[in-house]
Structure 1
Amino acid sequence: MLMHEIGQEFARLFKHDGITKIITIESSGIAPAVMAGLALQVPVVFARKRQSLTLTDNLLTASVYSFTKKSRKHDCCLKYAS
């Protein structure tokens, strides 16, 4: 119930911003992202924290700041269609 309300609040705050998709890093961001995606009726994309051994082609990788690790950086990987 709480996570549903969080998703509704995100939707309320961003409903006029033309959101077409939501991206989140795997783990703690998944639940609120899914709830916001449902409320906004947009797809949700999950970025991996590490590159998968089975995904080798068409990857976008970027180094990002981890707020939970207090400055430790992670490489986030997204598979994209070319």
Structure 2
Amino acid sequence: MKTKLFQQNPIEAMQFDGTNFKDITKWGCKVILYKPNDHLVIMHGEVDKVVKKGAYIIKSSNGWFHPVRKDVFESNYKPVVLT
């Protein structure tokens, strides 16, 4: 069977810089624990997920928030330029 190529749809994302937890909560992401300049813990469905400083949080099409390591995010997603 021949493989096919697939492309991901644009997603909303925000990088956690260690200080912007208020922006992340305003965005709709439920932050359970915040340790300044280190990490935060977000609610992902019924599971808590750690987001380390520098990592990205993406909002999926079902409205769930997912942490993604910086290197993984930057190798898979490129900024969308709106014209």
**TM-score normalised per structure 2:** 0.27
More strand per residue: 2
**TM-score normalised per structure 1:** 0.28
